[in-house]
Amino acid sequence: MTLALNLSGCPCHCPGCHSQHLWEDIGEPLTEELLGGLSERYKGLITCVCFMGGDAAPEEVQHWAEYVKELRIKTAWYSGRPATPDTFHLSRAVDYVKFGPYIEELGGLKSEKTNQRLYKRVGEEWEDITSVFWKKSL
Protein backbone atom coordinates (compact mmCIF):
# COMPACT_ATOMS: atom_id res chain seq x y z
CA MET A 1 0.00 0.00 0.00
CA THR A 2 1.28 3.46 -0.89
CA LEU A 3 0.65 6.28 1.54
CA ALA A 4 0.28 9.55 -0.38
CA LEU A 5 0.95 12.73 1.55
CA ASN A 6 -0.32 15.91 -0.09
CA LEU A 7 2.02 18.81 0.65
CA SER A 8 0.34 22.18 0.22
CA GLY A 9 1.64 25.56 -0.88
CA CYS A 10 2.54 24.49 -4.43
CA PRO A 11 4.07 27.42 -6.34
CA CYS A 12 3.75 25.76 -9.78
CA HIS A 13 0.03 26.51 -10.39
CA CYS A 14 -0.05 24.38 -13.54
CA PRO A 15 -3.18 25.08 -15.65
CA GLY A 16 -5.39 21.97 -15.49
CA CYS A 17 -3.78 20.77 -12.23
CA HIS A 18 -5.73 17.91 -10.62
CA SER A 19 -4.85 19.18 -7.11
CA GLN A 20 -5.50 22.92 -7.26
CA HIS A 21 -6.56 22.83 -3.61
CA LEU A 22 -2.87 22.28 -2.77
CA TRP A 23 -1.89 25.66 -4.20
CA GLU A 24 -2.97 27.17 -0.87
CA ASP A 25 -1.19 26.54 2.43
CA ILE A 26 -3.78 24.25 4.03
CA GLY A 27 -3.99 21.22 6.28
CA GLU A 28 -2.01 20.24 9.33
CA PRO A 29 1.78 20.38 9.60
CA LEU A 30 3.66 17.15 8.97
CA THR A 31 5.46 16.02 12.12
CA GLU A 32 7.51 13.01 13.17
CA GLU A 33 4.71 12.10 15.57
CA LEU A 34 2.13 12.11 12.78
CA LEU A 35 4.26 10.25 10.23
CA GLY A 36 5.66 7.83 12.81
CA GLY A 37 2.14 7.21 14.11
CA LEU A 38 0.87 6.35 10.63
CA SER A 39 3.84 4.05 10.12
CA GLU A 40 3.19 2.28 13.41
CA ARG A 41 -0.59 2.07 12.88
CA TYR A 42 -0.18 0.48 9.45
CA LYS A 43 3.05 -1.37 10.23
CA GLY A 44 3.97 -3.77 7.46
CA LEU A 45 1.21 -2.50 5.15
CA ILE A 46 2.82 0.71 3.91
CA THR A 47 5.39 -0.14 1.25
CA CYS A 48 5.97 3.39 -0.09
CA VAL A 49 5.32 6.96 1.06
CA CYS A 50 4.67 9.29 -1.86
CA PHE A 51 5.06 13.01 -1.31
CA MET A 52 2.65 14.80 -3.64
CA GLY A 53 3.88 18.37 -4.07
CA GLY A 54 6.32 20.08 -1.76
CA ASP A 55 7.71 22.16 -4.59
CA ALA A 56 7.82 25.27 -2.39
CA ALA A 57 10.23 23.56 0.04
CA PRO A 58 12.13 20.66 -1.55
CA GLU A 59 14.50 20.54 1.42
CA GLU A 60 11.51 19.59 3.59
CA VAL A 61 10.58 16.82 1.15
CA GLN A 62 14.16 15.60 1.42
CA HIS A 63 14.00 15.70 5.22
CA TRP A 64 10.79 13.67 5.32
CA ALA A 65 12.01 11.24 2.66
CA GLU A 66 15.13 10.59 4.73
CA TYR A 67 12.95 10.09 7.83
CA VAL A 68 10.79 7.55 5.98
CA LYS A 69 13.87 5.72 4.66
CA GLU A 70 14.95 5.23 8.29
CA LEU A 71 11.64 3.39 8.79
CA ARG A 72 12.70 1.05 5.94
CA ILE A 73 9.89 2.23 3.66
CA LYS A 74 10.38 3.25 0.01
CA THR A 75 9.85 6.88 -0.92
CA ALA A 76 8.53 8.77 -3.94
CA TRP A 77 8.20 12.43 -4.85
CA TYR A 78 5.68 13.75 -7.39
CA SER A 79 6.87 17.22 -8.32
CA GLY A 80 5.70 19.78 -10.84
CA ARG A 81 9.26 21.04 -11.18
CA PRO A 82 11.00 20.46 -14.52
CA ALA A 83 13.98 18.82 -12.71
CA THR A 84 15.44 18.21 -9.28
CA PRO A 85 16.58 21.35 -7.44
CA ASP A 86 20.32 21.57 -6.77
CA THR A 87 19.68 21.59 -3.01
CA PHE A 88 17.86 18.24 -3.14
CA HIS A 89 20.08 15.18 -2.86
CA LEU A 90 17.79 12.89 -4.80
CA SER A 91 19.85 9.72 -4.90
CA ARG A 92 20.05 9.51 -1.10
CA ALA A 93 16.43 10.16 -0.27
CA VAL A 94 14.02 8.98 -2.96
CA ASP A 95 13.33 5.68 -4.75
CA TYR A 96 10.92 7.11 -7.36
CA VAL A 97 10.48 10.65 -8.66
CA LYS A 98 8.08 12.25 -11.12
CA PHE A 99 9.16 15.57 -12.62
CA GLY A 100 7.48 17.94 -15.01
CA PRO A 101 4.74 20.52 -14.85
CA TYR A 102 1.35 19.42 -16.09
CA ILE A 103 0.78 20.73 -19.62
CA GLU A 104 -2.80 20.02 -20.60
CA GLU A 105 -2.21 19.53 -24.33
CA LEU A 106 0.56 17.00 -23.58
CA GLY A 107 -1.35 15.14 -20.88
CA GLY A 108 -0.15 13.39 -17.75
CA LEU A 109 1.86 10.22 -17.31
CA LYS A 110 -0.71 8.12 -19.21
CA SER A 111 -0.11 10.10 -22.40
CA GLU A 112 2.75 9.14 -24.72
CA LYS A 113 3.05 12.87 -25.54
CA THR A 114 3.61 13.86 -21.90
CA ASN A 115 6.51 16.05 -20.86
CA GLN A 116 6.33 14.48 -17.37
CA ARG A 117 8.79 11.70 -16.55
CA LEU A 118 8.73 9.06 -13.81
CA TYR A 119 12.09 7.65 -12.74
CA LYS A 120 13.03 4.69 -10.56
CA ARG A 121 16.35 4.59 -8.73
CA VAL A 122 18.37 1.51 -9.65
CA GLY A 123 21.57 1.59 -7.62
CA GLU A 124 23.12 4.98 -8.31
CA GLU A 125 21.37 5.37 -11.68
CA TRP A 126 17.88 6.56 -12.64
CA GLU A 127 15.72 4.54 -15.02
CA ASP A 128 12.92 6.30 -16.91
CA ILE A 129 9.83 4.13 -16.34
CA THR A 130 7.24 6.57 -17.73
CA SER A 131 6.23 4.16 -20.49
CA VAL A 132 4.73 1.68 -18.01
CA PHE A 133 1.72 4.02 -17.84
CA TRP A 134 1.11 3.98 -21.59
CA LYS A 135 -1.56 1.54 -22.68
CA LYS A 136 -0.80 -0.19 -25.94
CA SER A 137 -3.73 -0.93 -28.23
CA LEU A 138 -4.09 -4.50 -29.45
Which amino acid is it at 3?
L
Question: What own/partner pairs with CB < 8 Å and gap ≥ 24 does 105-113 have?
Answer: 108/18, 109/133, 110/134, 110/135
Q: For the segment 100-109, what is each residue's pLDDT rounded down to a tens digit?
A: 999 999 999 9
Q: Is this structure's pTM higher than 0.85?
A: yes
DSSP string of 35-66, one letter each residue = HHHHHHHTTTT--EEEEEE-TT-HHHHHHHHH
Q: For the segment 121-136, what is each residue's pLDDT rounded down to a tens digit?
A: 998 888 999 999 997 6
Q: What is the pLDDT at residue 67?
A: 93
Q: What is the DSSP letter of 69?
A: H
Cα separation, 80 vs 83, whole angstroms: 9
Q: For the segment 73-100, what is each residue's pLDDT rounded down to a tens digit?
A: 999 999 988 877 666 666 678 999 999 9
Q: For the segment 34-77, what is each residue's pLDDT rounded down to a tens digit?
A: 999 999 999 889 999 999 988 888 888 999 999 999 999 999 99
Q: What is the pLDDT at residue 137?
A: 56
Within 10 A of 78 (CB to CB), how many other CB atoms are there?
22
